[in-house]
Amino acid sequence: MGLLSDPNRRQVLTNLLTRMNTPLCFMCYIAGVSWFMGLAFEPFILQTYTSENAMGSTMVDENFVYGDRALSYAREFSAHGKKAGEMPVEWLVKTMSGLGLETHTQTFSRTLPFPDEIRERYMVKGTNVYGILRASRAASTESIVLSTPVGIRQNSQAAGLLLALASYFRGQIHWAKDIIFLFNEHDMIGMEAWLEAYHDVNVTDINSSVMEGRAGAIQAAITIEISSDVITSFDISVEGLNGQLPNLDLVNLFTSFCQKNGVLCTIQGK
């Protein structure tokens, strides 16, 4: 190989690098610092980040084919609610049981220190309806809650969507957690009553019936509220335990879907 290469040329290159060592090191240092500072600018950063590989765009089905079924459930829920004059508990139990969910009800009551804004009453009574979809390939050690606050004319679209999701999820076999579909009455009061009964505690003096069915430890909860059949934007309210942020994979996944489909998505109203 010595006959095919000129050792003088290699010596010239070595001498050049040795002579320019300090300027080259300084230029590389400046380039590295500049690139690091450039990561703060929007064109160089990722809008969302998902750490769970199972939530990647190549691992999930982005199409939901039960939209018409959700609208049908919403209309039926609204019609039965108007007919009953309250949340259609019997219809919800019958429908959820027909979907193959382990369905239970929970009654509760609470004495308010002041009258509510709607009916000027001090005693609030209601019923929560929830169904459990057991994970077929895992023990009931963990669960996730999908809930919606419902009433006579409140949130019927979200109730229809939750029932359609239950129907769709029932046909899947890859769940690693139990999924709880919760329809809570009287908004926050119903949710507090259900959570206290689920964890067998009582910190708000709510009288409630004994919890008949439980799933695994709750890892996350998603509450859905929809005010119209036509959706033009979404707002995400993120709440965690003791002021902390929850796992943001679900938030980032939802945000990326909204960006992909051109739907306005805000967080905490901003």
- For 243-257, write each residue's pLDDT tens digit: 777 778 888 888 888
Copy the structure tokens of residue 108: 């509760």
Mean pLDDT across the chain:
84
- Tell me what the mean pLDDT of segment 134-146 comes to: 87
Give the dihedral sign, CA 130/134/140/145.
Answer: negative
CB atoms < 10 A from the CB of 161, how many? 23
Measured CA to CA, the distance from residue 84 to residue 77 in angstroms comes to 11
The pLDDT score that the predictor gives to residue 46 is: 65
Q: What are 178's strand-pairing partners?
A: 143
The pLDDT score that the predictor gives to residue 259 is: 82
- Tell me what the mean pLDDT of segment 149-178 comes to: 87
Q: 267 pLDDT band (50/70/90 cuts)?
A: confident
Report the range of poorest mean pLDDT among 33-37, 54-58, 71-75, 129-133. 54-58
User: Max alpha carbon distance in the chain (Å)?
Assistant: 103
pTM, 2 dp? 0.78
Helix (H, G, I), strand (E, B) or coil at 207: strand
Measured CA to CA, the distance from residue 153 to residue 85 in angstroms comes to 10
Tell me the CB-side half-sphere exposure of residue 89, using CA atoms within 13 A: 12
- Tell me what the mean pLDDT of segment 109-136 comes to: 82
The pLDDT score that the predictor gives to residue 152 is: 57
Copy the structure tokens of residue 239: 């709440």
The pLDDT score that the predictor gives to residue 6 is: 63
The pLDDT score that the predictor gives to residue 174 is: 82
